[in-house]
Structure 1
Amino acid sequence: MTLIAEDLLLLLLDDEKGTVAASSYLQAALGGALLVELALAGSVEVEEKRGFWHSAKVRTTAAAAPQEPVLAAALATVAEKERGAQDLVGRLGKGVKDDLFASLERRGMVEQRRDKVLGLFPRTTWPAVDSTHEDAVRRALTAALVSGAEPDERTRALVALLDALGRAHRTVEHQGMSAGEVRRRAKALADGDWAAKAVKDAIAASTAAMTAAVAAGAAAAGSS
């Protein structure tokens, strides 16, 4: 089974160019996805935020450590010391993109290509090789966002992350629905009472960090 972070990365990837959309806030997005995955596995719990100046804290639980190396490394970061959720999301996402792409390459979904821009600047891209899994993920998202099907927990978590990035409506074919209708459906699924408290708290903390990163990226783009 792929990680939620891997599925998110595939959905943000331009399959032909091998580059990733939303690169300015990709670190927060992948960190958020890892935090949510740990919460789904019962490996972490997120303290409920008690006020504007009080950041929600993340702690490990007594659950067994995950076997997947990227998740195990993420859990080790959580275990270092108690940190605020939004700070932790950034730490979990730092430098993890290449690890996730390497995992996807081992599964035969993407391949690494290295070249130089203008013959001078080194560049690594990850074009798609086999989109079978990505297509299945998109079908599940389309069923939930467009056809009204009841998604499983992992698909809902992915919807919540895409909604925080403002990209849920860009990920599926609308099939006659407006972009606004798809966005509203995504928000309803993300906000619904569907997950255990630890998972909901992890999603809330992750999406807050991602929303902040999206806003910061937009502000930087506007001032340039």
Structure 2
Amino acid sequence: MDLLIVEDVMLLLLDDESGSPAGAGTLHYSLGGALLVDLALAGRIEVGRKGVTVVDGPPTGDPLLDDALAQVAEKRRGVHPLLFVLGQGLSERVVERLAERGLVRRETRKVLGLFRTTTWPAEDARHEAELRDQLKRVLVDGEQPDARAAAIISLLNAINVLYIVLDDLPWRAVAKRASEIQQGEWVSDPATQAVMTTNAAVIASAAAAASTAAATAAANS
């Protein structure tokens, strides 16, 4: 099944049983970052000192990517503000796409008989299981990651949910391996280097957002 990185990240963040996402406090940043990496993987953006710019080309044919390209093209922004712009309302669009593919299902109920809440538990977990197996081979067995796997691992590690998403791994070794992948020293081909340059900027912004959210939660507890 050919999913975008942002869809794979959303699928991994959703708990299969409860249908609620891990890292909810920074979800718009993490999904916005994943979408930005999707654009980099498609060769449609460049990240420079003055911000993110669109690389000329025809529409991608994917409404999510084309809408994101239009937002990037509105004006030159840095990565951090752009993640916020791209992330607004993105989770709803992504889970709807996952539901259309039959990977999750919508469950709506009332809390205390008053407040309506919607969750997205797993419907068909086969693709997610294959993705988890790939990430485990990279993190535990030392398999060389492709740009997609490296971007997913790096982003989940940056927002401190990798240990939640993959909760049955030897974490000391996994943390070291995830940091190595995040640094991108394994990259050799130019196309992957361009993706990982974007990814590096994304994870720096996402990590800062996660730290701020954690500090705010601690102050309010």
TM-score exceeds 0.5: yes
Q: TM-score range by the shorter chain?
A: over 0.9
DSSP 3-state at the match of 1:34: helix
After superposition, residues 29-178 of structure 1 pair within 5 angstroms as 29-47=30-48, 49=49, 56-172=50-166, 174=168, 177=170
Instruction: Percent identity, please.
Output: 41
Partner of 1:22: 23
Structure 2 gap ranges (5+): none
Partner of 1:182: 174
Amino acid at match of 2:3: T
DSSP 3-state at the match of 1:116: strand
User: Residue 146 of structure 1: CA displacement?
Assistant: 0.7
- Check conservation: 1:43, 1:65, Cα contact below 8 A: no
- Check conservation: 2:5, 2:34, Cα contact below 8 A: yes
Deviations 1:7-26 (A, max 9, x none): 11111111111111110001
Deviations 1:86-128 (A, max 9, x none): 1001111110101000100110001112111111011111111
Name the count of aligned residue pairs. Answer: 215
Amino acid at match of 1:153: A
- Choose which of 201, 204, 217 in structure 1 pairs with 2:200: 204
User: Residue 206 of structure 1: CA displacement?
Assistant: 0.9
Q: How much is the aligned-residue C-alpha RMSD, in angstroms?
A: 1.4
Runs ≥4 residues deviating over 6 A? none
More displaced 10-residue stretch of structure 1: 210-219 or 59-68: 59-68
User: Residue 151 of structure 1: CA displacement?
Assistant: 1.6
| C-alpha distance in 2 between matches for 1:187 and 1:64 | 36
| C-alpha distance in 1 between matches for 2:70 and 2:114 | 38
- Check conservation: 2:147, 2:195, Cα contact below 8 A: no
Partner of 1:9: 10
Change (3 A) 1:96 1:64: same
- Choose which of 195, 215, 221 in structure 1 pairs with 2:217: 221
Structure 1 gap ranges (5+): 50-55
TM-score of the pair, normalised by structure 2: 0.92
User: Residue 180 of structure 1: CA displacement?
Assistant: 2.0
TM-score of the pair, normalised by structure 1: 0.91
